[in-house]
Amino acid sequence: MSIRVIVADDQEIVRTGLSMILDAQPDIEVIGEAADGRRAVELARRLRPDVCLFDIRMPGLDGIEATRSLAGPSVEDPLAVVVITTFDLDEYVYAALRAGARGFLLKNAGAHLLSQAVHAAASGDALIAPSITARLLGAFARTGPASPPAHPVEVLTEREEQILATVARGRTNNEIADELRISLSTVKSHIASLMAKLGARNRVEIAMWAYETNRVQRP
C-alpha cells in the first residue's frame, strides 16, 4: 500500500517540486496540496494522510500551529508531520518539534532524504536531517525548554546513554548499530526503552531531551 501524503507550502514551485519528487517514489502518493496552513489542516483532518509535509512558514496559519493542531500533545489521534524549511538555524524549527513534528529537513535535502523522512514518519519513527541536528538542536536548547526537562522514570544505563548521544547526533538505527557494533534489533530495543523512560514519543524528543539535559556537547 502507498504512503498517502499531503504537501503544504506557500510557494507553488516548491510545492509542485516536492509533490513530483514524492509521487515519483513507487510507494508514496501525494493526495493533496495546500498553499497555507489553514487549508493544510482542513485537508489533513478530512483526508487523514499517513504523513503531512509542511513548510514552516506559511500564511494564515504557520507550520508550527498547523503541526500543533494535528500532532500536538493534546491531540487524541495525532497525524505524522514532517517540517521542511529553507533555513538551518530557523528558530521556528525547534518550536515545531515541540509542537509534535516527527522530524525536519532542509529544502535542499534531496529526494533520497525526503523519501526517508516520509517513510520514517509513516512507520512511527522520526528522522532529523543529520547535517543540521547538532547545530540546530544545540543552538535552540540554549534558550531553554518550554518547561524543565522530564526526569527519567528509571536511571539510564551506560548503553542507553551511548544510544542517546548517537540519536542526538542524528544517526539512523543502522548507523548506530555499526558504530556501537551491536545488532539492529538491540538498537531498536534500547530506543524503545529510552522512549519509555523519558516519556518521549519519538527519537526527535529523545534528541531534544539529550540537549536540554546537557547529555551531548552543544556547538
Over the stretch 18-65, which tens digit does the pLDDT of each residue have?
999 999 999 999 999 999 999 999 999 999 999 999 998 899 899 999
Q: Is the pLDDT of residue 155 over 80?
A: yes
3-class state of residue 205 by DSSP: helix
55 beta partners: 84
- CB proximity list for 110: less than 8 A, separation 6 or greater: none
Q: Distance between terminal CA atoms of the chain?
A: 41
**pTM for the full predicted model:** 0.72
Mean pLDDT of the 82-109 span: 77
Cell numbers 514519543: residue: 201
C-alpha cell at 209: 531531551
DSSP 100: T
CA distance 37 to 55: 9
17 beta partners: none
